[in-house]
Structure 1
Amino acid sequence: MNTLYQDFFMPFPDLAGPLATTLAERGYAEPTAVQAAVLEPETAGRDLLVSAQTGSGKTVAYGLAIAGEVLAGAERLGHSATPLALVVAPTRELALQVQVELTWLYAKAGGRIVACVGGMDPMAERRQLAHGAHIVVGTPGRLRDHLERGNLKPQTIRAVVLDEADEMLDLGFREDLEAILETMPAERRTLLFSATVPRGIAQLAKGFQKDALRIAATNEGKQHSDIEYRALSVAPGEMERAVVNTLRFLDPRTAIVFCTTRAAVARLHGNLVERGFSAVALSGELSQAERTRAMQGLRDGRARVCVATDVAARGLDLPDLALVIHADLPNDPETLLHRSGRTGRAGKKGISALIVPHNRRRIAERLLMAAKLQAAWSGAPTADEIHAKDGERILASGIEMLEAEPDEMDLELGRRLLEGRSAEAIAAALVKQLRAPLPAPEELAAAQARPAPQPRTMPAPTEVGEGVWFRMNVGRSNDADPRWILPFLCHRGHVTREEIGRIRIMDRETRFEVAPYAAARFAHAAAKPGRDDAHIRVEPADAPMEGPARRGPPYPGPKRPYAGKRPAPRRD
């Protein structure tokens, strides 16, 4: 690289040597906020406690921050029998990504980066460590194991980095982290990078850092400007259909869908594949080889959708990830921010969409408020909207195809196709061919918003009310009890407890009253049983039967088993 290029195009003017050259060649125009912060003169040689958003370039940031300890002023690194720096990451995927990032960053300096992660062959890692490394990257459990076995020798380590330290504490790695840090040389730098700095991180920093400099490279209290948040209101039980339609309407190059359990991941992944999506699954039960294949499929474009649990997706950095879908609402605002932070990275725009059953809207609103996020509320995309969007895309791709200059052979075939056929018929056949590989959109029930509370008087249990009566083919002989019937009706019929009136239990059937304004919604939803309650029929009744009327108390569980006939709880 000539001197003129170095003078005018170096993105990090205060950084010299091979790392600066590498960054310039990789197209880095200017440092991110966290990268600039860790290179300030007052950070030299000091322990750092850094909070930075996901996607802010923190891997490169701490790679640059420890360059003084690793390079020690040299332009080129020689062989090192023992490591000079250690990076600890919470998950296998993140550790392997860090290895890739540091490998290209230190390539011109001759740096050798070795990864030690759970799920990989420990004997192969031992051989790599014996061969020598300048920087070792790994997960807490595997690094501790190598330290205790003597495979990883810490005597020459000059810098230790804890990446996503808050996640490591959440995953229960405190004991491993403390054991690792206690074996490190006293004269070392310790750098903690974390999205947030809760009390546990502050205690860890106080115990293992010396006069640490606190750097806040986040826009605390401000919404990530590159992430657009959307909340999609749907009817209960239609989460999977809403996910399908959201993927079809937005049509991202790569998307990730979050579920809370492994079982939910397996079910949703299977349904997406069955519908024609190129999807992979990531959950804790997969082997490292399976997880690696899934990630590679996403990176090379063979798969476009990843269905994952929170634990499996920690630290993922997928190229061109434009869409995050929360199929299951996260449990806390930190998880919401962490999930959403998989997109909107490195200056690219992204969308974070929450699928919200209308009976959980208040929970979603409180979650967004706690995370200090503003989301645009709407229904999930409908089949008609998806067909219209398909038309726009097909028209654009068709025009692009027509703009290509055909050769004489193609023109001849075109003339022969036109013989006896109209141009409209041929164009329609082309549209049909372009539409054929697209997964069919789903028909969604109207996610009817709950009406505003209005003063209304429910009839007394001894009177005949004005509600609409329904019946179900379960009675006293089947251990019918209001304590399970009431929540069952609410779930099956997409209504609230307040919208269910009197309940009359007979020997072989149960009749119940539904508020007039909710009757049509209830009838539509209750006519579609789930897999676990298909044996229970719910249908309109002309009038209530004579008998005692009861309302069940808040659901505490039945007093006795239901003899195998009560529907199992649906988890969709």
Structure 2
Amino acid sequence: MKANQLNTSSETSFQQLGLSELLVKNLAHAGMVAPKPIQEKAIPAMLAGHDLLAIAQTGSGKTLAFALPVLAQIAAMGSKRKPKTARALILAPTRELAVQIETSIRAVASNMHLAIGLILGGVSRHTQIKRMAAGVDVLIATPGRLMDHIREKNVDLSQTQFFVLDEADRMLDMGFIRDVRRIAELLAPKRQTALFSATMPKEIAQLAQSLLRDPVEVETAPQGTTAGDITEKMYPVTMRDKKQVLAGLLALPEFRSVIVFTRTKYGADAVTRHLEKTGYPVAAIHGNKSQNARQRALNGFRDGSVRVLVATDIAARGIDVPGISHVINFELPDEAESYVHRIGRTGRNGASGVAITLYDAALERSRLRGVEKVTRKRLDLQALPELPDVPFVKKPVTHEGAKKSPAAPAKQKRNRNRRPKKSFTHKHGGGRQADMRAQGKPAKKSRSERRKRPAA
């Protein structure tokens, strides 16, 4: 695909990029004064009306790279919203990423009087229908739930003039590309489209070809590269020992805020249970959790009440929590590209971070080769540091599991006048039947025997 090239100066401010005074003020209030490289390249291109194809890694600041020019252009329109419509649509592959985008947009859209909607699975459909009734300026959505609302005629995309597809390669991994194409067909013919992806496989290049018109292409880092401020370590650990080694690592004081990635939902729950037994404040986040449960886990991780978050790859690109000190790959991912997105949760916004992989050579050799191919560098094994032994925390004794003690109230004496319980009769004899035989009395026939008719 032939793309325009855009040159920008190395030292610029948000105001120099052409953003409104109110947006610049909101950015300063949020602690952002100078644009990041992806923002410096993307914002002028979108403000000039160009479509955009951006290759950007996680943690690069890409959310504001597309959000700021979209907000600036919508604010300048001034026309009235129509019911059930959205002026801008931002598609995200996961619920966590959608929530993160909404949070970022609300932070910089203060006092702009813009209506922002969020449509995703796992939460009330009625609330989303009510929100869309009067129309919104910016709609952030996941493809599956958005398609449900489109089929039920709760959302009308015919007026949508701005379309952003975030994490396009993740959309491909999760099987959303067909829905993306259907959604794109429903948008206004004259629109501005921006496609963001960390990698550019053949299918995404074809999607970009069909959606974008003479786009400006920007790239902040070569595909598959990891952030330079992340220290990567790999320790040889057998699968049998991984839980104990993980618990030992978390006992070290430098592991302040940690995400642990597993391959499966079952594995995430198993690791979470183990860490709970050792007394760590831990929560799990994966596809089987409800949206409310996932959001509670993320909120706890953000406010520090949850120190360890155990997650599957579905959350790898949707977690943007400042101050994450470590990412631990409990297992290497099946999709090698996920390694880049996993470790990108730390070392964000100029901070340093550490990514640790627990590697079982007998089971994960092919996965390691895939990761090294994608990242274009070798991951060398290091000696496992000496770790403290972390015993299980004894659970408080509950009433049900308590043993008898002298302090326990005495059992009530049996009422001797009460009639004894009837014994149940076993089909082979016993109980009351056996007592009757012992007294020389004929045993009572069973119901099935009584029903038998004598032979003719």
Q: Is 1:52 aligned to residue 56 of structure 2?
A: yes
Q: Is 1:152 aligned to residue 155 of structure 2?
A: yes
Instruction: Provide the C-alpha distance between the structure 2 equivalents of 1:26 and 1:13, rounded to a whole number of angstroms.
Output: 18
Q: Out of 113, 128, 131, which is 1:128 matched to?
A: 131
Q: Is 1:37 aligned to residue 20 of structure 2?
A: no
For the Cα contact (< 8 Å) 1:49–1:193, is it kept in 2?
A: yes
Deviations 1:507-564 (A, max 9, x none): xxxxxxxxxxxxxxxxxxxxxxxxxxxxxxxxxxxxxxxxxxxxxxxxxxxxxxxxxx
Instruction: Provide the C-alpha distance between the structure 2 equivalents of 1:12 and 1:351, rounded to a whole number of angstroms.
Output: 35
Q: Is 1:289 aligned to residue 266 of structure 2?
A: no
Which 5+ residue runs of structure 2 have no aligned equivalent?
1-11, 393-456
Deviations 1:31-85 (A, max 9, x none): 11110011235862111111101001111110023234312266xx976643210
Structure 2 SS opposite 1:373:
coil
Q: Which residue of 2 aligns with 1:206?
A: 209
Q: Out of 221, 225, 228, which is 1:225 matched to?
A: 228
Instruction: Provide the C-alpha distance between the structure 2 equivalents of 1:278 and 1:42, rounded to a whole number of angstroms.
Output: 44
Q: Which residue of 2 aligns with 1:277?
A: 280
1:287–1:211: structure 2 CA closer, same or farther, 3 Å change rule?
Answer: same
Structure 2 SS opposite 1:27:
coil
Q: Is 1:342 aligned to residue 341 of structure 2?
A: no
For the Cα contact (< 8 Å) 2:45–2:52, is it kept in 1?
A: no
1:330–1:41: structure 2 CA closer, same or farther, 3 Å change rule?
Answer: closer
Q: Which residue of 1 aligns with 2:22?
A: 18
1:358–1:245: structure 2 CA closer, same or farther, 3 Å change rule?
Answer: farther
Instruction: Provide the C-alpha distance between the structure 2 equivalents of 1:311 and 1:326, rounded to a whole number of angstroms.
Output: 14
Q: Out of 380, 384, 391, which is 1:380 matched to?
A: 384
Instruction: Provide the C-alpha distance between the structure 1 equivalents of 2:225 and 2:174, rounded to a whole number of angstroms.
Output: 27
Instruction: Provide the C-alpha distance between the structure 1 equivalents of 2:232 and 2:366, rounded to a whole number of angstroms.
Output: 16
1:10, distance to aligned residue in structure 2 (A): 5.5
Q: Which residue of 2 aligns with 1:301?
A: 304
Structure 2 SS opposite 1:124:
helix
Deviations 1:165-221 (A, max 9, x none): 110111001121111111001000111111111111111111122122221122447
Q: How does 1:83-482 map to 2 (within 5 A)?
A: 83-220=86-223, 222-249=225-252, 251-359=254-362, 362-363=365-366, 366-370=369-373, 371-375=375-379, 377-383=381-387, 386=388, 440=391
Higher relative contact order (CA 8 A, sep 6+): 2
1:236, distance to aligned residue in structure 2 (A): 4.6
1:263, distance to aligned residue in structure 2 (A): 1.4
1:223, distance to aligned residue in structure 2 (A): 4.2
Structure 2 SS opposite 1:289:
helix
Structure 1 SS opposite 2:369:
helix
Instruction: Provide the C-alpha distance between the structure 2 equivalents of 1:11 and 1:314, rounded to a whole number of angstroms.
Output: 26
1:185–1:31: structure 2 CA closer, same or farther, 3 Å change rule?
Answer: same
1:159, distance to aligned residue in structure 2 (A): 0.2
Instruction: Provide the C-alpha distance between the structure 1 equivalents of 2:148 and 2:132, rounded to a whole number of angstroms.
Output: 13
Q: Which amino acid aligns with 1:190?
A: T
1:141–1:236: structure 2 CA closer, same or farther, 3 Å change rule?
Answer: closer
Q: What is the TM-score of this pair, normalised by structure 1? A: 0.63
Structure 1 SS opposite 2:252:
helix
1:317–1:28: structure 2 CA closer, same or farther, 3 Å change rule?
Answer: same
1:234, distance to aligned residue in structure 2 (A): 2.1
For the Cα contact (< 8 Å) 2:53–2:218, is it kept in 1?
A: yes
Instruction: Provide the C-alpha distance between the structure 2 equivalents of 1:290 and 1:360, rounded to a whole number of angstroms.
Output: 32
For the Cα contact (< 8 Å) 1:12–1:31, is it kept in 2?
A: no
Once structures 1 and 2 are overlaid, which stretch shifts more, 335-344 or 235-244? Answer: 235-244
For the Cα contact (< 8 Å) 1:53–1:195, is it kept in 2?
A: yes
Structure 2 SS opposite 1:249:
coil
1:215–1:41: structure 2 CA closer, same or farther, 3 Å change rule?
Answer: closer
Q: How many pairs does the alignment contain?
A: 380
Which 5+ residue runs of structure 1 have no aligned equivalent?
1-8, 388-438, 442-572
Q: What is the TM-score of this pair, normalised by structure 2? A: 0.78
